[in-house]
Chains A and B, each alone.
Chain A
Amino acid sequence: MNDSLPPVIAVRGLSYRFGKQSILNALELDVPQGAFYALLGANGAGKTTLLQLIAGARPMQQGSACVFGTSVSRLTMGQRQQLTYVAEGQELPEWMTLAQLEAYCAPLYPAWDRTLAASLRKRFDLDATRRIGAMSRGQRMKVALMCALAPRPRLIIMDEPFTGMDVVVKDDLVRGLLDAASLEGATVLLSTHDIAEIEPLADWVGFLEGGRVAVSAPLDELRARYKRVELLTSDATPMPATLPTHWVSAEHAGLRLSVLMEQTAQGGELPPQYRNATQIGEREVTLKELYIALATGNRRQEATV
């Protein structure tokens, strides 16, 4: 990843409505070159709509989305061939065998790599003579990923690739994606609500909430910015009416107070009623905790990094 390079995806003031219902609201998003970017958000947050708009699979209503520095609607054929998009439950021509599908896709992409396609087929344990209609869900997802990786794209967009996949299939998909990201330097943007699965994979995360990207940052930066501290209070001290500014969220359980806080330069002052509290633990925050606290929490506006 290189900060001096322009972002692969740049979304500005993007709004989208279904009738009266606002889905995306003046959304801004930058995805840097080479990032493995995980877009997280609740069901119905607009992840699919956003990815469709970026991939050019849905017409824009308001705002702009640029890929490779060019507006999505004006991408040249050559640029389009460097972007692959796998929709959730991607439809595939069921009547074709895998070999026929490969023969159909190859001429559409000048950079289609037959050797890579063959090695992915082998790695995913797929049978080229088998009809796609006769394949399992997991096998079809592997076919879709194979077709998305074989053109050696610069950008891969995937919508919920892991949904409903068993662990073995998931592992194969993940390893295929990791190879594309590390060996080819491709940028990956995928949406998921499988936070535990994505945590070790992603190096950038975005939280989609209320039609906007509430937080978009390198995962390491978020991890370094926050910590969880456990305090043992002397008696059941009531929670202060207003939390200290560097506290993101705090929960009381008996005498134990668990605080998700920002790392501050001075170490952070405790509110007066906690001055006598003993610190009994401090640890890193998980992506899940960050997501719950920052995307759905009460301090959204200050959370942008």
Chain B
Amino acid sequence: MLPFIVTLTSGESPFRQIVYAATKAVVSGELPEGSPFPSVRELSQALKINPNTAHKVVAELTRTGMLDVMPGLGTVVARRRKASAAERRDLLSREVEQLVVEAMRLGMTQMDVLNGVSARWAELSVPSSAMHSAVVAAPTGRNA
């Protein structure tokens, strides 16, 4: 059994789907710091993916700072580090723009998007830090 959930679908490469699912499990605290991460063989067997892909997943998660390699023991979930300025800038320019464009295409309001972001943020927040994360109160339909 894998310590995180991923259901592979055809439509995106298994590599990206698994990296995303594992990253989500780490940032949401589902996979706590220091907990062991599955080996290449375990990933390959459990998800029925090519071992090379499994290897690349572990390498990518190590590169992005999600995992630490413990020589002789395998990999464990790393201590969270602060994102670099460049990483923050990247996220805000690319992913946020895509979200805004898609929302505008669907005729949503800025408030719809902000509420959606807040709700999802609260869901994923690690319990220990939950009380610090300000949840924006959804202003329920002033005009609606």
Contact A175 B48 (CB under 8 A): yes
Contact B12 A199 (CB under 8 A): no
In this complex, the member of B15, B45, B51 whose beta carbon has the largest number of chain A beta carbons within 10 angstroms is B51
Assembly CA distance A232 to B12 (angstroms) = 22
Total A-B residue contacts, Cβ distance less than 8 Å: 57
Contact A174 B13 (CB under 8 A): no
Assembly CA distance A291 to B47 (angstroms) = 23
Number of interface residues of A (CB under 8 A): 27
Assembly CA distance A279 to B13 (angstroms) = 22
Contact of A178 among B8, B13, B51, B105 (CB under 8 A): B51
Q: B16 at interface (Cβ–Cβ under 8 A)?
A: yes
Contact A182 B8 (CB under 8 A): no
Q: B102 at interface (Cβ–Cβ under 8 A)?
A: yes
Assembly CA distance A36 to B102 (angstroms) = 38
Assembly CA distance A154 to B9 (angstroms) = 31
- Chain A residues proximal to chain B, CB less than 8 Å: 1, 36, 171, 174-175, 178-179, 181-183, 195-196, 199-203, 220, 223, 232, 280-281, 283-284, 286-288
A179: B residues at CB distance < 8 A: 41, 45
Assembly CA distance A107 to B40 (angstroms) = 34
Chain B residue nearest to A185 (CB atoms) is: B51
- Shortest A145–chain B CB gap in Å is 15
Assembly CA distance A6 to B88 (angstroms) = 45
Closest 6 CB pairs of A and B: A182-B51, A200-B14, A200-B49, A203-B50, A174-B48, A196-B10
Chain A residue nearest to B101 (CB atoms) is: A280
Q: List 12 A-B contacts (CB under 8 A).
A: A36-B50, A174-B48, A178-B44, A179-B45, A181-B50, A181-B51, A182-B40, A200-B53, A203-B52, A232-B105, A280-B101, A286-B11
- Given A200-B53, A280-B102, A280-B105: A178 and B12 interface contact (C-beta under 8 Å): no
A1: B residues at CB distance < 8 A: 52
Contact of A199 among B14, B41, B101, B105 (CB under 8 A): B14
Contact A284 B48 (CB under 8 A): no
Which residues in window 11-45 of B have CB below 8 A to A? 11-16, 40-41, 44-45
- Shortest A288–chain B CB gap in Å is 7
